[in-house]
């Protein structure tokens, strides 16, 4: 109980530092944006501008932001572009005259709706639409509702495609399973038509830092679409295109996580979870099949995996009720044996997703802790719901950070602490996390869509390289 004053002191210190950091970054970003406003966003990076961008990698977020602002101002004075503009790619139109962004070829990646999934699921059983309707009713699903959501999604996809073609932009419409590296190479930009899951899938195959990926939420009533354009552009996509042409937007480079895998008996072949609704047994069998098909499974040296995490990386046993056993080293520190419900490592983008829900604190918990502190005479502020609300909100907001910051946030889920296992840090920011598996049937899952086998003897090195950043677009509401 005596730890309550320490918690409160730690909370207020953390909240104060987080608020100061946010204010500092906000002022810095505003200054950089003002300096870059007169530049032509989208022009190619040439000569010194290109070198300045590479030089920024080693700076702190504040210093990098300030340097970007100076570079943009200097480039504007010389009639060029700032250091944060995508390069020109031939006839693709990146960096077109006038400072806007006008692609010639766009790949539109379309999600599979629940209605389509159920159709595909029972296709080989030869079910009619009426049979499907009755089967869904038995499962408690609303056939009419699924069909209506499918029609809404389809209508919005058609709106996006028609808007692009009306601007004489060549469009390639692809479903999830048709989306591949060749499609990415063909396109000047990629548009995801779905929700956040579709955006994560679209981003997963883009490794060119200067190829924009833009999300459109095609069912705003049922999908949050945090990674997508504001909802208004779902129904007025031509307006979004015109803003892109006029340069009325900001490029945002969302940092991503890269993964190296090494050790004994590792299997660098991924299992795609986007199109497979796998049971735990099927998931394990898929990994075994991939191992036999991939001749590289016996390599022991560090192997860079062919995927980047936009949201997070999760490591844990496939069977959720089984404790995950591993060793962890943070920022090249000492190795620590741990048992927990798994490890989550996120980016600034992912700090609003799973990581936030792992670490956020509820009003009830804050109220109970403050009451304990008050009981011990260590808390002299009047306790009311307004204070509880403020403390809760400030703490939870301190868990969030900018998608452009090149750092990670790790979280140990439900750590087991006893005389054998410890957890000196349950959460925190880091630049590198290394994990050695002691698990029996574990996996390393990237953005909930790509899984790698991660069993006893495998070692994962998790880090951020700014060259892996994903180019996205910010439009005003």
pLDDT score of 67: 40
Please name which of 288, 257, 256 lies closest in space to residue 271, comparing C-alpha atoms.
288
Only one residue has tokens 């910051």, namely: 405
**Which residues of the chain register pLDDT less than 50?**
1-15, 17, 25, 27-85, 87-98, 278-280, 283, 292-293, 295-297
pLDDT score of 283: 46
Count of other CB atoms within 10 angstroms of residue 282: 12
Residue 206 CA to residue 399 CA, distance in Å, equals 28
pLDDT score of 284: 52
pTM score, two decimals? 0.75
**Residue 143 burial (C-beta neighbours within 10 Å; 0-12, 13-18, 19+):** middle
Which tokens sit at 120? 């595909």
Chain-centre distance of CA 58, in angstroms? 22
Please name the residues in contact with 370: beta carbons below 8 A apart, sequence gap of 6 or more: 8, 379, 383, 387, 388, 391
pLDDT score of 146: 94
pLDDT score of 167: 97
Q: What number of CA atoms fall less than 13 Å from residue 46's CA on the CB side?
A: 11
Work out the end-to-end distance of the chain between its first and last CA atoms, rounded to an integer number of angstroms: 47
pLDDT score of 20: 52
């Amino acid at each position: 109980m005596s730890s309550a004053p320490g918690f409160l002191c730690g909370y207020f210190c953390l909240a104060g530092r987080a608020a100061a950091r946010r204010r500092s970054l906000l002022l810095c970003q505003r200054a950089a944006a003002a300096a870059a406003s007169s530049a032509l966003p989208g022009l190619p990076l040439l000569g010194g501008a290109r070198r300045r961008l590479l030089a920024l990698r080693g700076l702190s977020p504040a210093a990098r932001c300030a340097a970007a602002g100076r570079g943009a101002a200097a480039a504007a004075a010389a009639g060029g572009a700032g250091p944060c503009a995508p390069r020109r790619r031939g006839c693709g139109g990146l960096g077109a005259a006038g400072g806007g962004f006008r692609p010639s070829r766009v790949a539109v990646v379309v999600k599979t709706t629940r209605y389509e999934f159920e159709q595909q699921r029972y296709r080989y059983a030869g079910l009619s639409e009426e049979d499907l309707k009755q089967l869904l009713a038995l499962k408690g699903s609303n056939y009419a509702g699924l069909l209506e959501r499918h029609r809404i999604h389809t209508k919005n996809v058609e709106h996006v495609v028609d808007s692009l073609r009306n601007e004489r932009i060549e469009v390639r419409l692809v479903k999830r399973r048709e989306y591949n590296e060749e499609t990415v190479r063909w396109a000047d930009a990629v548009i995801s038509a779905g929700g956040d899951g579709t955006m994560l899938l679209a981003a997963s195959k883009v490794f060119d830092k200067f190829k924009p990926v833009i999300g459109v939420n095609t069912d705003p009533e049922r999908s949050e679409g945090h990674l997508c354009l504001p909802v208004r552009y779902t129904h007025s996509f031509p307006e979004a295109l015109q803003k892109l042409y006029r340069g009325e937007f900001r490029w945002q480079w969302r940092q991503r996580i890269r993964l190296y895998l090494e050790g004994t008996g590792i299997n660098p072949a991924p299992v795609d979870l986007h199109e497979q609704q796998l049971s735990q047994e099927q998931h394990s069998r898929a990994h075994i099949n991939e191992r036999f098909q991939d001749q590289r499974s016996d390599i022991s040296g560090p192997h860079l995996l062919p995927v980047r995490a936009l949201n997070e990386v999760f490591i844990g046993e496939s069977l959720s009720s089984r404790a995950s056993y591993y060793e962890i080293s943070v920022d090249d520190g000492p190795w620590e044996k741990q048992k927990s419900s798994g490890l989550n490592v996120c980016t600034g983008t992912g700090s609003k997703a799973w990581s936030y829900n792992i670490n956020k604190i509820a009003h009830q918990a804050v109220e109970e802790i403050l009451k304990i502190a008050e009981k011990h005479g260590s808390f002299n502020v009047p306790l009311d719901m307004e204070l509880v609300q403020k403390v809760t909100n400030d703490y939870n907001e301190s868990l969030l950070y900018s998608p452009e910051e090149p750092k990670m946030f790790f979280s140990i889920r439900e750590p087991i602490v006893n005389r054998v296992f410890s957890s000196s840090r349950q959460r925190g920011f880091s630049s590198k996390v290394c994990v050695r598996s002691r698990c029996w049937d574990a996996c390393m899952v990237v953005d909930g869509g790509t899984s790698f086998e991660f069993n006893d003897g495998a070692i994962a090195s998790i880090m951020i390289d700014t060259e892996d950043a994903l180019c996205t677009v910010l439009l005003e509401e």
